Amino acid sequence: MHRLETLARQCAAAILKENDIHVVSHIDADGLTSAAIMCTALERAGKDYTVDFVRQLDESILRQIADTNPSITVFTDLGSGMLEQINGLGLNAVVSDHHIPSGDGPYHLNPHLFNINGAYEISGSGVTFLLARAMGRNDDLADLAVVGAVGDMQHVRQGKLIGINRQIVRLGMENGAIHCQRDLTMFGKQTRPVFRMLQYSSDPYLPGLSGNEDACIGFLKDMGLRFQGENWLKWIDLEPDEKQRVISGLIQYCMSAGIAVHKIQRLVGEVYTLLREREGSETRDASEYSTLLNATARYDRAMTGLAVCRGDRNKEYENAIELLKEHRRNLVEGINLVKGQGVKTLVNLQYFDAGDKIKDTIVGIVAGMSVSVVGNRKLPIIAFADTEDGVKVSGRGNYDLVHKGLNLSAAMSSAAGSVNGMGGGHDIAAGATIPKEAKSEFIRMLDRIIGTQLRTT
């Protein structure tokens, strides 16, 4: 048994000793699926629990939790950056997380402690799935752990899930929850007519096709695609030879448009289908499912997302679908804003300041998406967005930069720390909150730190 699983058993025992359990999780797809896995495991173990979602842990939130005096708090998809404070407050806690830790504690379940990278080998929901397995028979929850990992983009590095994530996929396949296959990676295979899938493609951005309905329709007609009456089929409705024709056509199109080889390669990769979900629905494909979840929790509607994860396909599911429309609109608007205003370039990073135009909880997603549209891949992209209590910073890199030494988590944490802010995350993607007046000092410092990272490795 892996040492992470041994530790999971100890953490499980600590939880199962108690009765009144408080679960605190993160407001994104990985956080929601983590919470759903934990709540299901607790319910199956006959435990009472409450659940709450937060953007980020800070001292005041921890103090509020301590004031309610739960017999034990289970932090999922967060906590590893706040171990000192958790211990300092004397909270009886289990931390089930995959962010780069600062400090350690008694029931701290985190892959980095075992030299496993939490950015691509296992997600918060994966770690929590291991914990749930140690609490009882919960293998059937593997599909949620796959949705969490895909939501955190853990499959992007190798075009498929690897490491412990792979073992979780295998468990999901064994119990009939997951199917995986190589396919087009584009978003919307289950739910969009094929021309819309092309039209909305931002990764890769297809010059001449992305955003252009007529051009996409023309392209597909040239590929000899079939209609059903007046209607376009969805990707899942196409025959294998039709799919192959479109994929080859897209590869050729991208090559003649001069798109970089690594981007063309990303057109095809492993995709994950949730076999218990209805075909053609937003929860059938792991990537679409994770976007549906992000559309809830990142807009203060985490309980809607949690209900969906726990199986609601009625009212809360309908609510989530409504929120998804708004989320898509916001992402398009956000990317257009970045396209319009452009990015500023320093020596070792590029950045944009969205002010109050992009919500702080989605600015990281916009930053990640805008690289393929406006950015320069040789530099990490940093985004600012105003929040009520300061400025939210989101950073996104890529694995070429990580190989050259980039560690955004360390850089953010150190630059934020020196201006009285707080930050952390992963080497490839990290965030921070800083005081409003510290923006220019922060970005200069971050530029310097990243420069040092890239020079010294």
Nearest approach, Cβ of residue 341 and ligand C5P (Å): 19
124 is an interface residue for Zn ion by CB under 5 A: yes
- Within residues 333-392, the interface with ligand C5P by CB under 6 A covers 364, 368
Q: Burial code of 168-205, b = ≥16 C-beta within 10 A, e = fewer? A: bbebbeeeebbebeebbbbbbbbbbbbbbbbbbbbbbb
Tell me if 451 sits within 8 A of 413, measured CB to CB.
no
Nearer to ligand C5P, 132 or 422 (CB): 422
Instruction: Select 77 or 447, whichever has its Cβ closest to ligand C5P.
Output: 77
The answer to whether 111 contacts ligand C5P (rule: CB under 6 A) is no
Residue in 53, 76, 29 with CA at minimum distance from that of residue 288: 29
Judged by CB under 6 A, the stretch of 64-72, 149-157, 371-379, 445-453 that binds ligand C5P is: 149-157
End-to-end CA distance of the chain: 34
What does the alpha-carbon distance between residue 141 and residue 432 come to, in Å, rounded to a whole number?
Answer: 31
30 near ligand C5P (CB under 6 A): yes
Cα–Cα distance, 334 to 358 (Å, whole number): 6
> Which residue lies nearer to ligand C5P by CB, 26 or 133?
26
For ligand C5P, the closer of residues 15 and 428 by Cβ is: 428
Q: Could you say whether residue 77 binds Zn ion (CB under 5 A)? A: yes
Q: Of the ranges 43-51, 63-71, 77-85, 432-440, which one interacts with Zn ion (CB under 5 A)?
A: 77-85
Report residue 437 CA to chain centroid gap. 29
Query: Choosing among ligand C5P, Zn ion, none, which partner's interface includes residue 158 (Cβ < 5 to 8 Å by kind)?
Result: none
Give the Cα separation of 236 and 240 in Å (integer). 10
Q: Does 24 bind ligand C5P (CB under 6 A)?
A: no
- Determine, following the binding rule CB under 5 A, whether residue 183 of this chain makes contact with Zn ion: no
152 near Zn ion, rule: CB under 5 A: yes
Plot region of 119 (φ>0 → left; ψ -120 to 50 → alpha; else → beta): alpha
Nearer to ligand C5P, 238 or 324 (CB): 324
> Judged by CB under 6 A, does residue 152 bind ligand C5P?
yes
For ligand C5P, the closer of residues 85 and 194 by Cβ is 85
Looking at 6-14, 22-30, 85-93, 324-332, which segment touches ligand C5P (CB under 6 A)? Answer: 22-30
Asked if residue 415 lies in contact with residue 354, where contact means CB atoms within 8 angstroms, the answer is no
- 242 near Zn ion, judged by CB under 5 A: no
Helix runs in 223-348, H state only: 240-256, 261-265, 286-297, 302-309, 315-341
Among 108, 284, 327, 396, binds ligand C5P (CB under 6 A): 396
Is residue 30 part of the contact set for Zn ion (CB under 5 A)?
Answer: yes
Is the distance from CB of 377 to CB of 371 less than 8 angstroms? yes
Question: What is the closest distance, in whole angstroms, from the C-beta atom of residue 161 to ligand C5P in the complex?
Answer: 12
Question: Three-state SS across 81-144?
Answer: CCHHHHHHCCCCEEEECCCCCCCCCCCEECHHHHCCCCCCCCCHHHHHHHHHHHHCCCHHHHHH
Q: Smallest distance from the beta carbon of 141 to Zn ion, in angstroms?
A: 16
What's the rounded Cα separation, in Å, for the pair 237 and 226?
10
- On whether the CB atoms of residues 155 and 203 are closer than 8 A, the answer is no
Nearest distance from residue 213's CB to ligand C5P, in Å?
28
The three state secondary structure string of 379-408 is: CCEEEEEEECCEEEEEEECCHHHHHCCCCH
209 vs 267, which CB is nearer to ligand C5P? 267
Residue 81 interacts with ligand C5P (CB under 6 A)?
yes
Using the minimum distance from each CB to Zn ion, give the nearer residue, 21 or 119.
119
Positive/negative CA dihedral, 298, 299, 300, 301: negative
Candidates 133, 88, 79; CA nearest to 108 is 79
Please, what is the minimum distance in Å from the beta carbon of residue 383 to Zn ion? 18
The one of ligand C5P, Zn ion, none whose footprint includes residue 188, by CB under 5 to 8 A per kind, is none
Residue type, 428: I
Give least dist CB 52 to Zn ion, A.
17
Q: Which of 431, 439, 389 is nearest to 408 (CA)?
A: 431
Q: Which of ligand C5P, Zn ion, none interacts with 443 (beta carbon under 5 to 8 A by kind)?
A: none
Select 26 or 189, whichever has its Cβ closest to ligand C5P. 26
Q: Which is nearer to ligand C5P, 243 or 263 (CB)?
A: 263
User: Segment 411-450, which members bind ligand C5P (CB under 6 A)?
Assistant: 422-426, 428-433
CA 408 – CA 295 distance, rounded (Å): 25
The rounded distance, in Å, linking the Cα atoms of 50 and 73 is 10
- Residue 126, token pair as written in the block: 């994966």
The residue (of 165 and 394) whose beta carbon lies closer to ligand C5P is 394
* Number of residues located near ligand C5P, criterion CB under 6 A: 28
Contact footprint for Zn ion (CB under 5 A): 30, 77, 124, 152
Contact footprint for ligand C5P (CB under 6 A): 26, 28, 30, 56, 77, 81, 99, 119, 124, 152-153, 156-157, 364, 368, 394, 396, 422-426, 428-433
